Structure 1
Amino acid sequence: MRKNISLLLFLFVITTNTNAQHSPAKKQTKSILILNATAHLGNGKIIENSAIGFKDGKIVLVADSKLIRLAKDAYEVTIDASGKHVYPGFIAPNSTLGLVEIDAVKSSDDESEIGDLNPNVRSIIAYNADSKVIETVRPNGILMAQITPRGGRISGTSSIVQLDAWNYNDALIKENDGIHLDFPTIYRKGGSKFEPGSISVNKDYIKQINEVSVFLKNSKAYNSSEAKERNLVLESTKGLFDGTQTLFIHANSEKQIIDGIQLAKDNEIKKVVIVGGFEAYKSADLLKENGIGVLLRRVHDLPERDDQDVDLPYKMAKILTDKGVVVGLENSGDMERMNTRNLPFLAGTCAAYGLDKEQALQLITSNTAKLLSIDDLCGTLEEGKDATLFISEGDALDMRTNKLTAAFIQGRTLNLETHQTELYKKYKEKYNQK
């Protein structure tokens, strides 16, 4: 047993030290002006031949270069992006980036905690800013993520980070933004995804909901009075009742969503977002009525049932958007960390199935920023917001043309080289010699 553990740790060390990582970018010291690109603002608007300027990490100019007279000497660095496109940085919600490095190595897996009700568990503490996976998602424009715990009924508290940092303190955009509830399921599935077993009714469904409701009621009572003894678990839920935190309800079926909304209303929780939401289209009117948005589960998937339209996952964002529901995209599921790089192409699929390109872009920029309550800082190219953006040679939602030539996080110029591109160059040079 000890030999096996030693071997795994050895492989882990070898894997994580192959090709040294680049240091995080230094703070912006020179003002930058991007000229002549097509700017996709993230709010549905486009500016042809744009002028985007930023200083000290903040956007200070968003304009049509033809309509204003620009003094180029007002900016220390000018980038001519003619024929290219500028986008706000993409945001990956409900992500475990930095929480797991290698699934097979237990010592590198810190995404879940023992226990059922863990609102006090803070994912940010376990976040590894040096993860080799993180550097591989930036070249596709994913520059921010909501780091979210897994496991239990109440998994814990998420935080939002930017993806170029020395440590979790440097990475933080918003700490402890929300608490995640894995809502009870109506049915229990046996077997595995490879060999599905029987499906049975969850006889404890009501009991499990009541357990969560009792916990929330106790939490509210504790936080609304002066307790004689401090309870860190109950204290950690305070933000749900004063509106500073969001309750993220992970639910897919129509009944789960309806019951989840009712649970939140019964306990006077102010901000709620549905995560997953495969059958959210059946409850769209209820969601809109209560001002609840949806972080839609990975759309590159099959329907839940045999009698559903095979294209339903691709059409879901269009259906909900037409109903007036604020929709973002999340990418949890198999191989979710490395598949984070495909987030823009999920949005591209939504564009191919009904949404126009700028609406699809909002699914991973402004809409997600609203649902995570960080839209005052990022999500769109607007003056006063963080200069977290990138330049692409073509359409960023198309895997054939999304080729980044430059990227910035809070004005800092990123190095887009990764251990993968280094290996590519290394072996390209080797075989070119023959």
Structure 2
Amino acid sequence: MRRSLILMVIFSLIVVEGCSLLSKNPGAESPEGGDPESFQAATDIDGMLKEGPGKLAGDKYDEAKLKKELNGLPEGLSAEEAYNRLIYLLAEDYGPVVEEIENFRPSFDVGNLEGSKNASEEKKEEPPDRVNVSILLDASGSMAGKVNGRVKMDLAKEAIQKFVSHLPEQSRVSLRVYGHKGSNSEKDKKVSCDSTEEVYALGAYDESRFKEALGRFKPTGWTPLASAIRGAGQDLSAEKGEKVKNVVYVVSDGIETCGGDPVKEAKALHESDIQAIVNIIGFDVDNAGQRALKKVAEAGGGEYQTARTGEDLQRLFEKNQDSIGDLFRTTGYRVGNLFEMNAYKLDMIDEIENLLGSNPFVGSKFMEVYDREHQRLKKAADLLASLGKIDEKTGEDLRGKIDRRLELMRKYRDEKKEELHDRLDQALEKANRKMEENIDGALNP
């Protein structure tokens, strides 16, 4: 009997010790409700994202309670011991935002060509007798910038030349440039903002004359976009009637800088008796600029498309060239979907920025969490030092651990952001392939 009792005691000690060992697994469980003595902070990003919420994390943070907790710690803590205690108390709950990041699965449905609303409407119309294509080219100073080693203006000119050279024979083309005089300095602003000129008058495409027109200007000034759109209305003012279709393409790398209202001008042009459709191709435009230019395109009844490289610009013009060639057979379907895809892309980019953006002035859900955690950890480290719980050298080592945690959070942010952009690109590429398959099937049944 006594021997059995001894065996039972030994067995119990083994079980308790085993449980104790399990509890010391780094990052194995959230510190909330755990044992502060045995808690080990994670050293890898996966563990860090799972080990919160801490005892005083999030809305539970209270500086007086934090000071009380830290005051109860023994003196002479090592940097690792101090770090473990701080993470136990202040590790944020990353679960909700990480779940949002992982659940970001973009998908775009292009529908069937035969069943699309735009396609069914277009089938009721006869092909136009004449299609007028008016191109507005931004010649502001920023177009002198480079993309992948090449000047943006040169890339734009090449893409435009190729685009107009492949338009259907019944098409007529005009070229208007804006911001091409003066300079982008404040003293030349008025001169530049007053500069918008039709350098190739509306008519049939002539390769040598059009090429000569493209060579008559260089990027130099401000961006009078509103004036250029109003000028396009003057260029097309005689082009009216049901059998005439007017399409405007604006190629720009930035927003209005001359105080005009391009949204108002695009809307007026679209709703005028010439009923022009205003499309915008944004070339190497930042997110804020894209949103502004998208509004201009929407007001003009057209679409906003974005290009980051010269190759992107060529591809966009090729698509628009096809759209004009297929006018009123597939354009409604293609343009409608491209418009919606670009709108969807902008919305998804905004969502990615909302989740994982790094702009300190705008912030993001993930940044808000790790930045709050980092600030509180640094403050707690200073409190430990002021309370005499750690010496100067330990304080430096502790802050190093806190900064390393921040580095890993930022690395995760950047990697996940790139991953989400890849997911979005793949979803839109898949949608675009499906759209082109539908168009091909409709044109070649």
- TM-score over 0.5 for the pair: no
Structure with greater strand percent: 1
Structure with greater helix percent: 2
Tell me the TM-score normalised to structure 1 length: 0.31
The structure that has the greater radius of gyration is 2
